[in-house]
């Protein structure tokens, strides 16, 4: 399992470097991000949600498309902070928005273009999840299987 994580980290690093160098998003770049960084992409194709993402991309509504992608791919994460400071956008994603910001472990992205800053925070979140080993864990709590012998204790008289 370790080589897969290394490959994923290298892929995320490559996407981050590429995003920092561009000044505009393109459908090709977003498609590569979907293919390389999204673990739920195959499930997305089978649902009606793929068409919504495609419509947003065709309309070049990149900020909306990227926020929708975060909603689909990282359902436990929310935009904590989105601000424009010193000529660049700063986007922070967090799982615990109710905590004071000093105690929160947020993923942050910075760029002069809003959708790219949001995408950089998305990729940073994926990097945090990979480093913590939480990438493959389900977001729904799992129920333990019961023992092979189940005994009914009800009295049916």
- What does the pLDDT look like over 86-117, one tens digit per residue? 999 999 999 988 888 788 888 999 999 999 99
Helix (H, G, I), strand (E, B) or coil at 134: coil
pLDDT score at 119: 93
- Extract the residue ranges of the chain whose pLDDT is less than 50: 1-6, 136-137
Question: pTM, whole model, 2 decimals?
Answer: 0.74
pLDDT of residue 32: 81
The reported pLDDT for the residue numbered 41 is 57
């Amino acid at each position: 399992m370790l080589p897969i994580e290394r490959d994923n980290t290298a892929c995320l690093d490559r996407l981050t470097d590429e995003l920092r160098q561009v000044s505009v998003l393109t459908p090709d770049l977003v498609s590569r991000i979907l293919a390389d960084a999204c673990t739920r992409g195959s499930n997305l194709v089978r649902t009606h949600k793929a068409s919504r993402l495609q419509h947003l991309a065709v309309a070049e509504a990149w900020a909306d498309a990227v926020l929708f992608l975060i909603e689909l791919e990282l359902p436990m994460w929310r935009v904590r902070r989105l601000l424009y400071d010193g000529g660049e956008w700063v986007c922070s994603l967090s799982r615990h928005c109710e905590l004071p910001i000093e105690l929160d472990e947020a993923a942050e992205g910075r760029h002069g273009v809003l959708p790219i800053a949001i995408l950089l925070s998305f990729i940073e979140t994926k990097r945090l999840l990979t480093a913590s080993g939480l990438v493959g864990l389900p977001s729904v709590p799992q129920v333990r299987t019961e023992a092979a012998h189940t005994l009914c204790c009800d009295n049916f008289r």
